[in-house]
Amino acid sequence: MALFDRLRGSARTRTSKQVSGDAAEDAALAFLCGEGLRQIERNFRCKGGEIDLIMQDGDTLVFVEVRQRSKDSFGGALASVTRAKQRRLIVAAQIFLQRYRMPPACRFDVICYDGDRMNWLKNAVEATPEAF
């Protein structure tokens, strides 16, 4: 991929944080696929926000936020999913769901990496009217 970027003249260097974040998403994707979920889309971006992974779990569409922190100080990875971040996730999910005539059941999961410890939190974000 980097070769093609250089040929186009738009080679971008990725920060160590971006590389580390991509690795966490790769690990989360592999874990979820091992748990029987199927990938629908990765890094869905829209004006309202971004969703790291969109997966299918049976009849349920799962919007997954992957968070990584090298240490669990300041509350760890889960604490970094603020109300503002949750609102952006919900807006992005609403935009994604516009492609469905009849949207499926949905949930919001968070996969947190604190150091080398991983936690999978199902239904971690509650999409209620108060979330807006």
Q: Is residue 45 part of a domain?
A: yes
Q: What would the pLDDT profile of 60-117 be if each residue is shown by its tens digit?
A: 999 999 988 766 666 677 777 778 888 999 999 999 999 999 999 999 999 988 888 8
Structural domain of residue 54, as residue ranges? 17-131
Q: Is residue 8 part of a domain?
A: no
Band (pLDDT 50/70/90 cuts) for residue 124 is confident
Q: What is the number of structural domains in the chain? A: 1
CATH number for position 101: 3.40.1350.10
Q: Give the predicted TM-score (pTM) of the model.
A: 0.82
If one counts every other C-beta atom within 10 angstroms of the C-beta of residue 82, the result is 9
Q: Is residue 108 part of a domain?
A: yes
Query: What is the SS3 assignment for 130?
Result: helix
Q: Is residue 6 part of a domain?
A: no
Q: Are 29 and 66 a contacting pair, CB within 8 Å?
A: no
